[in-house]
Structure 1
Amino acid sequence: MTFTVLIPARLASTRLPNKPLADIGGLPMIVRVAQRAALSKARQVVVATDTPAIVDACRAHGVACVLTRADHPTGSDRLAEACAQLGLDGQDMVINVQGDEPLMDPGLINACADTLAERPDCVMSTAAHAIEAPEHFANPNVVKVVTDALGRALYFSRAPIPWWRDAPVPGTPASGSGTPLRHIGIYGYRAGFLRQFPQLSASPLESTESLEQLRVLWHGERIAVHVSASVPGPGVDTPEDLERVRAIIAAAR
């Protein structure tokens, strides 16, 4: 099994300006992400960006990078162009690692690739882990996923799903086989489908939930879900997140 890791990166964050170039222990965050991804079994790790400054930062640290158009509406559109630039075959596997995940577990990348390789009935793979804290279950910024008997996604939502009807306290996460799952924002694709994705019409559910992966389910395709036993390291969305990650990396030295 071989796969390529693609990391989309832009400077458009409103909560943390110039986020991909934020310094973490002497390295730009996007470089940290690429270095973590390189610890996986990927045959290549490539950053896809529309920003020359990100290209320069990557090249200064030996990270492969492609410059894409600036008018892509989604990260998936940017990755589709990157697949074309890299000449990836339709059955080549691509793992999309977000550019704000400097603590990404290389093992999770491998698991996402393994899951897709083992599921020819699915055009994509992703990951999730069990939710145990009620506040996370109720938080609309924590995306939930429910799966079928074969581990394929039935639905993704910002709402608390599945709802435990007989919970002793309303909104309490279910127990046992009904334990809800928190979606982890890592995706595996076959390159052929990734190139087709931008041509699929957006779905009403995608617009309602603001979750791009619902477009895939809306059009009748399948997404395999790897359930991780561990919680991934924190991503970076805010200045507070950045300080938290800086402290974790500094403590690990």
Structure 2
Amino acid sequence: MSSQPLKIIAMIPARYAATRFPGKLMQDLHGKSVILRTYEAARETNLFDKVYVVTDSDIIFEEITNNGGKVIMSRKEHECGSDRIAEAVEDMDVDVVVNVQGDEPMIDTESLRLLLDVFRGKDADLIDLASLKTPLRENKDITNPNNVKVITNKENFALYFSRSPIPYPRDEESGVTWFKHVGIYAFRKQALMDFYRLPMLKLEATEKIECIRYLEYGKNIKMVETTVKGVGIDTPEDLEEARKILSGEKE
């Protein structure tokens, strides 16, 4: 491993036209937009050399620039956030790129720190990207296809991701813990650029889970356990929940 310090940046992909909740990133969250709160929260972790929003929206571009932030306008249409980030970082001199979800303004600094620590650990040279997982306790959460499940080997490298319950509970007394994949990624730049240039294969297309592409092409994904469940804003109800949480923090 190199003794040089890693150059680590955060990228926040931000589309305005979200399918389930259009314009959600510009909704008011205690006096600031959701995307601005997310940007400021990422910057305040002090874990990154730089933080950028990358967007296809003039509205979001102006929101970040008007508040003194760094923002990049996408030049192309993109299928997913990883592609949007890859285009933005292609000519940057960076080692690790963290994808921070634009609709999750309650960033947990400790989980991010644990995620980045693996790139300085004993098997760092084997890691192409790292991501988070959190235990699922309720059967309704385990069987919910909106919760992507992940299984790992004994070294916590991902074996597979699925919307189905994996492993299947043939033996309900085995004592296994099911894990939900939390969609925050830390990529080595080369792995991200490979993803951008490689075509989607059948497993990814079937499950509609983009990180399966890395596994299909032989990349190593290190999973890091966290007990923190982020507050993703996918619906107006989620936005109300986030407002309540922020109100509680301010009391």
TM-score (norm 2): 0.92
Q: Distance in 2 between matches of 1:158 and 1:226?
A: 19
Give SS of 2:44's match. Answer: coil
Shift of 1:11: 1.0
Matches within 5 A, 1:172-191: 175=175, 178-191=176-189
Residue of structure 2 in register with 1:201 after alignment: 199
Residue of structure 1 in register with 2:210 after alignment: 212
1:45 corresponds to 2:42? no
1:79 corresponds to 2:85? yes
The one-letter amino acid paired with 1:42 is F
Matches within 5 A, 1:128-167: 128-167=133-172
Give SS of 1:120's match. Answer: helix
Shift of 1:78: 0.7
Structure 2, gaps ≥5 residues long? 1-5
When residues 76 and 233 of structure 1 are mapped into structure 2, their CA distance, relative to the original with a 3 A threshold, is closer
Shift of 1:84: 2.5
Structure 1, gaps ≥5 residues long? 169-173
Residue of structure 1 in register with 2:237 after alignment: 240
**Count of aligned residue pairs for this structure pair:** 242
1:4 corresponds to 2:4? no
Asked whether the equivalents of residues 152 and 222 of structure 1 are also in contact (C-alpha less than 8 Å), the reply is: yes
1:111 corresponds to 2:108? no
- Please give the per-residue CA displacement for 1:59-105, whole angstroms capped at 9, x wherever unaligned: 122221111124112211110111035x224xx11110111101121
Q: Distance in 2 between matches of 1:232 and 1:43?
A: 25
- Please give the per-residue CA displacement for 1:103-125, whole angstroms capped at 9, x wherever unaligned: 12122222222223432112110
Give SS of 1:202's match. Answer: coil
Q: Distance in 2 between matches of 1:34 and 1:94?
A: 15
Asked whether the equivalents of residues 108 and 228 of structure 2 are also in contact (C-alpha less than 8 Å), the reply is: no
TM-score (norm 1): 0.91
The one-letter amino acid paired with 1:126 is S
Out of 99, 106, 110, the residue aligned to residue 102 of structure 2 is 99
Q: Distance in 2 between matches of 1:163 and 1:231?
A: 25
**Bigger mean CA deviation after superposition, 43-52 or 113-122:** 113-122
Shift of 1:245: 0.4
Shift of 1:39: 2.5
Aligned structure 1 segments of 4 or more residues deviating by more than 3 angstroms? none
